[in-house]
């Protein structure tokens, strides 16, 4: 199985930045970052050894294992989001900018509208519907012959129109203007567990602990893609060349293929061995460097002369096919431990 937490250190396109926002009390910069998590041991390679129905296929199963998070590393006062004295809060989630109008512990309300500066006679289009701006008065704007008060929202020909601000001028040579917001849905509340795309349960919103350090807005993969069935391909795990793509194609887990791994066999045994000092001098007989006769040791042996690589205290690198471990028990005198247990390593 595969498990990981990936940030900008592994995927440079992920954000690790600051968000500037004036909450109506003061203006601050808030640290935020993005991360992609592989969860719950749910991303697993499977072969016919695991499932006979796979036949010759190798697949990467995804059992609700992928999660994206936009994380607040600093405390942001969610109660002030949308306050009349606060600036608009803009957040970029999955590469898409949202204007956040309100924030709960596990929900956000966002604007999906287009903001326009208009004057009398202008035409604006939203979702294929054209709206014509009529007269602009001190406290209202005429849109397709419908009067909408400043600060109010009306639905015109299926499009929501919100009059944000009116700049009225009584002089004919200085035209009045208005800031309006238009869209199929000017605002939408998104709650934890909602589908990211309507009528598609693949990805759902994952929102938790907003208003606290570590609170986040994200999405997670919410279906079980396992096995391989030619008759139901939408439920299949991906095979080589396939991928699991995050919403907005922001990132993807791609199953590029398999790699060969070389293994080497080692044998572990226990026996008696004579042990010697590792630094004999040429002017003394080798036997004088014997430290222990027939000592019980654990022996690890490889297949080749360079199966085992050791780095000694003086940074010397040694290659060998065998190492010997001597266990020395602790020494206790008068119920006091005078020497802790340890192990000595020998090689040839």
- Report if residue 220 sits inside a domain: yes
If asked whether residues 26 and 38 sit together in one domain, one would say: yes
Query: Number of helices (H) and strands (E), helices first, in the chain?
Result: 0, 32
Answer whether residue 321 shows pLDDT above 70. Answer: yes
- Provide the token pair at 2: 């595969």
If asked whether residues 167 and 286 sit together in one domain, one would say: no
Domain termination site, one of 170, 185, 200: 185
Q: Residue 274 has what pLDDT? A: 86
Domain termination site, one of 185, 210, 229: 185
Gap between the Cα atoms of 290 and 297, Å rounded: 15
If asked whether residues 12 and 58 sit together in one domain, one would say: yes
If asked whether residues 156 and 299 sit together in one domain, one would say: no
- Report if residue 262 sits inside a domain: no
Q: Higher confidence at residue 230 or residue 64?
A: 64
- Report if residue 129 sits inside a domain: yes
Kindly state the average pLDDT of the residues 93-111.
Answer: 95
Q: Which residues of 156-173 are buried (b: 16+ CB within 10 A; e: fewer)?
A: beebbbbbeebeeeeeee
- Provide the token pair at 300: 């690890």
Answer whether residue 52 shows pLDDT above 80. Answer: no
Q: Higher confidence at residue 225 or residue 154?
A: 154
**Euclidean distance between the first and the last CA atom of the chain, given in angstroms as a whole number:** 38
When pLDDT is cut at 50, 70 and 90, the band that residue 40 belongs to is confident
Answer whether residue 319 shows pLDDT above 70. Answer: yes
When pLDDT is cut at 50, 70 and 90, the band that residue 236 belongs to is confident
If asked whether residues 48 and 102 sit together in one domain, one would say: yes
User: 247 in helix, strand or coil?
Assistant: helix
Gap between the Cα atoms of 111 and 126, Å rounded: 14
Range of the domain at 330: 267-347
Kindly state the average pLDDT of the residues 123-141.
Answer: 96
If asked whether residues 81 and 157 sit together in one domain, one would say: no
Domain termination site, one of 157, 185, 213: 185
Q: Residue 262 has what pLDDT? A: 80
Work out how many domains the chain is built from and give that number.
Answer: 3
When pLDDT is cut at 50, 70 and 90, the band that residue 282 belongs to is low
If asked whether residues 81 and 194 sit together in one domain, one would say: yes
Question: Do residues 210 and 78 lie in contact, with contact meaning Cβ atoms separated by under 8 Å?
Answer: yes
If asked whether residues 99 and 195 sit together in one domain, one would say: yes
Specify the DSSP class assigned to residue 282.
T
Kindly state the average pLDDT of the residues 313-334.
Answer: 89
If asked whether residues 131 and 247 sit together in one domain, one would say: no
If asked whether residues 204 and 296 sit together in one domain, one would say: no
- Report if residue 261 sits inside a domain: no
Gap between the Cα atoms of 94 and 176, Å rounded: 38
- Report if residue 316 sits inside a domain: yes
Q: Residue 161 has what pLDDT? A: 96
If asked whether residues 166 and 199 sit together in one domain, one would say: no
Question: Do residues 324 and 294 lie in contact, with contact meaning Cβ atoms separated by under 8 Å?
Answer: no
- Report if residue 224 sits inside a domain: yes
Question: Do residues 38 and 65 lie in contact, with contact meaning Cβ atoms separated by under 8 Å?
Answer: yes
- Report if residue 304 sits inside a domain: yes
Answer whether residue 28 shows pLDDT above 80. Answer: yes
Question: For the CA atoms of 172, 178, 182, 187, what is the dihedral angle to 10 degrees?
Answer: -160
| Three-state SS sequence of 29-61 | EEEEEEEEEEEEEEEEEECCCCCHHHCCCCEEE
Gap between the Cα atoms of 347 and 328, Å rounded: 17
If asked whether residues 91 and 207 sit together in one domain, one would say: yes
Question: Do residues 299 and 270 lie in contact, with contact meaning Cβ atoms separated by under 8 Å?
Answer: yes
Question: Do residues 72 and 215 lie in contact, with contact meaning Cβ atoms separated by under 8 Å?
Answer: yes
- Provide the token pair at 284: 């003394």
Kindly state the average pLDDT of the residues 37-64.
Answer: 81
């Amino acid at each position: 199985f595969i498990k990981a937490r990936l940030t900008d250190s592994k995927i440079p396109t992920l954000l690790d930045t600051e968000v500037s926002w004036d909450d109506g009390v003061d203006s601050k910069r808030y640290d935020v970052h993005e991360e992609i998590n592989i969860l719950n041991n749910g991303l697993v390679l499977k072969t016919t050894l695991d499932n006979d129905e796979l036949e010759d296929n190798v697949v990467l199963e995804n059992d609700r294992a992928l999660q994206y998070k936009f994380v607040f590393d600093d405390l942001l006062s969610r109660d002030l989001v949308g306050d009349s004295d606060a600036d608009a809060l803009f957040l970029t989630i999955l590469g898409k900018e949202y204007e956040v109008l309100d924030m709960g512990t596990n929900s956000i309300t966002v604007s999906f509208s287009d903001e326009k500066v208009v004057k009398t006679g202008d035409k604006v289009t939203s979702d294929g519907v054209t709206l014509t701006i009529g007269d602009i008065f001190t406290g209202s704007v005429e849109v397709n012959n419908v009067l909408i008060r400043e600060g109010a929202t009306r639905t015109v020909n299926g499009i929501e129109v919100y009059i944000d601000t009116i700049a009225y001028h009584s002089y004919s040579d200085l035209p009045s203007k208005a800031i309006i917001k238009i869209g199929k849905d000017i605002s939408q509340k998104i709650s934890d567990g909602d589908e990211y795309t309507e009528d598609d349960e693949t990805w759902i919103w994952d929102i938790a602990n907003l208003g606290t350090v570590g609170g986040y807005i994200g999405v997670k993969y919410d279906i079980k893609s396992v096995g391989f069935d030619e008759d139901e391909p939408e439920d299949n795990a991906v095979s080589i060349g396939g991928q699991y793509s995050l919403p907005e194609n922001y990132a993807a887990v791609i199953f590029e293929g398999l790699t060969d791994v070389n293994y080497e066999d080692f044998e572990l045994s226990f026996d008696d061995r004579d042990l010697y000092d590792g630094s004999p001098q040429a002017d003394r007989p080798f036997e004088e460097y014997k430290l222990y006769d027939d000592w019980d040791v654990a022996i690890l042996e490889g297949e080749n002369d360079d199966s085992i690589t050791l780095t000694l205290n003086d940074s010397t690198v040694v290659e060998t096919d065998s190492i010997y471990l001597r266990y020395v028990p602790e020494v206790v005198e008068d119920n006091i431990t005078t020497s802790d247990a340890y192990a000595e390593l020998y090689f040839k």
